[in-house]
A = this chain, B = another copy of it.
Amino acid sequence: MNTSSFLADMLQTISERGRRFLAFNQRESLDDPMGSASALCETLLSSRGEASGMALAKNILDRWRSFDEAEKREFMIMLLDRFGPDTQRLETAIDAYRGHRDASALLELHLAAEPRRQELIRRFNLAPNGIETLVRMREVLLRLTKERPDLSAVDSDFSHLFGSWFNRGFLVLRPISWSTPANILEKIIRYEAVHDIGGWDELRRRLEPEDRRCFAFFHPQLADDPLIFVEVALTRDIPSRIDDLLREDRTVVPKGEATTAVFYSISNCQEGLRGISFGNFLIKQVVEDLRRDLPKLDRFVTLSPVPGFAAWLARERRDEASEALSPAAKAILSVLDDEDWAEDAEKASAVEPVMTAAAAWYFLRARDAAGRTIDPVARFHLGNGARLERLNILGDRSQRALRQAHGLMVNYLYKLDDIEANHEAFAGRREVVTTQQIRRLVPANKPSLSIGSGQGSSSTRQVAINEHASTERTS
C-alpha cells in the first residue's frame, strides 16, 4: 500500500461516516465547489486539522489542480475574502495595545494582524509534495493579480512564506553535468532564458567539455526541479562575443590552462518564485566552489545581455532634447535602421564609437522614473557587488540580441575584495562602479550622476574613480 492509497483510505473512511464538518460530497462539491473548498480550508485551520491535516491538505490541493482557470480565480478570491485577519480580534488587539503598550499586547496585535491565510498555506504544505503545488499556485496567482490587483494581498502571504521556506540556509547547490539525470536536464533546456539550448546535442556541448560548468540551486523538497542555474565557461581571457563561447567548432581550453570563469547565462526557473532572490547567493557560492576545484582561476566575470538598451536608445533618438545623444550622434545611429547593418562591416564600424558612448551613458547616467539604473541585468549584477567592466559592440548577433540591444553585450567583473564596497556604492549611493575607460566615455563636466538622488557628491565620486583606477591595475 503506498502513500496515496493510504490517504485515499483515510479520506474514504472519513467521508463514509458522513462527518458533517467534512461536508464535501460530490453533489455539493459540483454545485458549489468554492463553498466546499472553503469549508475544507476552515476545517484544516481548526483543531481537527491536526488529526487529519495531511489528508485534508492533499484533498484541497488535489481539487485545486483539477480546477479550471475560472475556478482557480474563485479560489484565490475566496482566500482573499475569507482568510484575511480576524478583524474582530484585530480591533480588540489594537484597543488593548493602545491601552497599555506591553509585550503581551504587542504579541497579540502581531498575531491578530496576521492573515489567517498564512497558517492555511503552512498547512497546505502538509500534503505530499505540497510545496511544489504551492509554487505552481503562486504562478497562477501572479497572473491573476494583473487583472485583480487586490489579490496582491494574497500574494504577499505567499511571498512572505516562500521567503522563509526558500531561505538560502535551506538551498543546496549542485553541479549540473552530462551525468545529471535526464529529467533534470530537460528542465535546463526548457528553463534556459538567455541563450536558447537547441536540443540535447547542444546541451551536451554546454555541459560535457572540460572547460564548461553548470550549477543550480535546489530545494530539498523540489529535488528534481532547479530553482536557478548558471552556465559557466572557463577561458583564458574575458570574452567579448557569446559566439566565441557557444559555437560548435570552438577549441576546448584544457582545464589546467583556464584563468577566467565566465558566467554567461543565469536563468530563474520558477515563475512561482518570482521576487524570491537567490541569484546573489548563487554567484558567490559558485565562485567559491570553482576556486576550490580550480585554484588557478583568478578572474570571475560575466558575459551579459543588455535587455533594455535598444528601447532606451530608440527613446533618446526620438527625443529632441536628448542629453545623451547629440544631433550628430543621432545621424550616425540612423544606420541602425538598415536591416543589414550588423552584417556590413563598414556600417558596423561606423556606428561603433557612437554606440559605445551611448551605452556608457545608458549605464552611468540614464535612470528610470524611480531614479534607478534602467537595465534589469545591470541592477542584478551591480547590486550583487560586481563592476561594469567592458562594453562589447555586436557581442551577440542573434535576432533577440539585435532586437533588444543592437547586439550589445557587457562584462561585469566580480572581484572578491571589492564586492562589499561596490554593493554599498550601488545600493546605498546609487553609484555605478566601472572602469576609468568606460567612465571617460561620459562627459566629465556634467553634474555628478548621483546629485539627482541627493545622496552623493562629486568628491565621493572622485574617490570611487581613484579607487577603481587603482583596482584596475591589479585586475
Residue numbers of A with Cβ under 8 A of B are: 1-3, 6, 9-10, 13-14, 17, 19, 21, 47-48, 50-54, 84-85, 87, 90, 94, 97-98, 101, 103-104, 106-107, 109-110, 113-115, 122, 125-127, 130-131, 150, 152-153, 156, 161, 163-165, 167-170, 172, 178-186, 199-200, 204, 220-221, 224, 280-281, 284, 288, 291-292, 295, 383-385, 416-417, 419-421, 423-424, 427-428
Contact = CB atoms under 8 A, between A and B. Distances in A.
A169 B125 CA distance: 5
7 smallest A-B Cβ distances: which pairs?
A51-B423, A220-B220, A125-B169, A110-B113, A179-B181, A103-B153, A200-B200
Given A106-B153, A168-B126, A1 B291 contact: yes
A109 to B, nearest CB: 5
B51 A424 contact: yes
A115 B109 CA distance: 11
A8 B185 CA distance: 35
A423 B48 contact: yes
A418 to B, nearest CB: 9
A contact patch SS? helix
A416 B1 contact: no
Contacts of A150: 103
Given A170-B220, A180-B181, A1 B420 contact: no
Given A48-B427, A51-B280, A113 B122 contact: no
Contacts of A113: 106, 109-110, 113
A131 B50 CA distance: 25
Given A6-B288, A50-B383, 6 more contacts: A13-B416, A94-B97, A106-B115, A113-B113, A164-B164, A186-B200
B169 A48 contact: no
A255 to B, nearest CB: 11
A273 to B, nearest CB: 16
A385 B55 CA distance: 14
Contact of A94 (B94, B110, B427): B94
A84 B106 contact: yes
A107 to B, nearest CB: 6
Nearest to A104: B153
B13 A420 contact: yes
A457 to B, nearest CB: 17
A184 B180 CA distance: 10
- The CB with the most chain B CB atoms within 10 A, among A14, A130, A181, is that of A181
Contacts of A52: 419-420, 423
Contact of A182 (B182, B288, B419): B182
A424 B48 contact: yes
A181 B101 CA distance: 52
A224 B208 CA distance: 14
A385 B51 contact: yes
A75 B377 CA distance: 40
Nearest to A115: B110
A427 B47 contact: yes
Nearest to A19: B420
Given A130-B169, A163-B122, A164-B161, A51 B103 contact: no
Contacts of A281: 53-54, 126
A384 B51 contact: yes
A5 B117 CA distance: 43
B292 A179 contact: no
A51 B169 contact: no
A291 B164 contact: no
A250 B354 CA distance: 59
Contacts of A385: 51
B110 A164 contact: no
A179 B169 contact: no
- The CB with the most chain B CB atoms within 10 A, among A6, A17, A416, is that of A6
Contacts of A420: 10, 13-14, 17, 19, 48, 51-52
B291 A6 contact: yes
B13 A280 contact: no
A21 B153 CA distance: 35
A292 B168 CA distance: 30
A168 B130 CA distance: 10
Nearest to A292: B1
Nearest to A126: B168
Contacts of A165: 164-165, 167, 170
